[in-house]
Structure formats: C-alpha cells, structure tokens
Amino acid sequence: MSTQQSIINYIAGVWLDGDADGLDGQVPLADLNIIDSAGIFDLVHYLQGDFRITVPLQEIVPANFRTVDAIAALVERLQRKGESVR
C-alpha cells in the first residue's frame, strides 16, 4: 500500500466514518474541516507509529498537513532523513 493510500485510509477511518469517497491526495483537509488543529496531533501520533518516523515539532506546520500529498511528502522526507543518520 502506498504512503498516500495508508494516510487516506487512516483519515477516512478516524474522521470520515470510514468513507474515503472523494478523498484524494489534493483535497485541502483543513479548508474542508476534515482535520482541525487538534486532529493534526492525532495524525502525527499515527504517522510516527505506522511509518516509524519522528516528526519534529518544527515540522508540525499547516503547510505539511494541508493535503494527503503534503503529509506523504513529509513522511517520505523524514524517512530519508532517518536513513541518512543511521
């Protein structure tokens, strides 16, 4: 399963009663009130557990959580960064 699809499934399961219809990589999550600022911290917890990354506090900014594609890019960037320090 792709990073994007995993994130979509999680968002749909937690905030959309399991209904991922219409949710894709470009849907503006905050603009459509899918996830609020408190929900971002729930999402960060999920990302850290599921993708085995650490999301630094300075990365928890609206731009990184605007869309599923932005979240996936953050995850992939943090995974690459983690690999480079091992």
Cα 18 to chain centroid distance, Å, stands at 16
Which CATH number belongs to the domain containing residue 42 in this structure? 1.10.1200.10
- Kindly report, residue by residue over 24-70, the tens digit of the pLDDT: 999 999 878 888 888 999 999 999 999 999 999 999 999 999 999 99
Q: Residue 24 and residue 16: Cα distance in Å, rounded?
A: 13
pTM over cut 0.85: yes
Domain hosting residue 40, numbered range: 3-84
Distances (CA, A) of 77 to 4, 17, 31, 36: 13, 29, 24, 23
Domain count, the chain: 1
- Kindly report, residue by residue over 1-26, the tens digit of the pLDDT: 899 999 999 999 999 999 999 999 99
Is the pLDDT assigned to residue 86 strictly greater than 60? no
45: phi then psi, degrees, rounded to nearest 5:
-60, -45
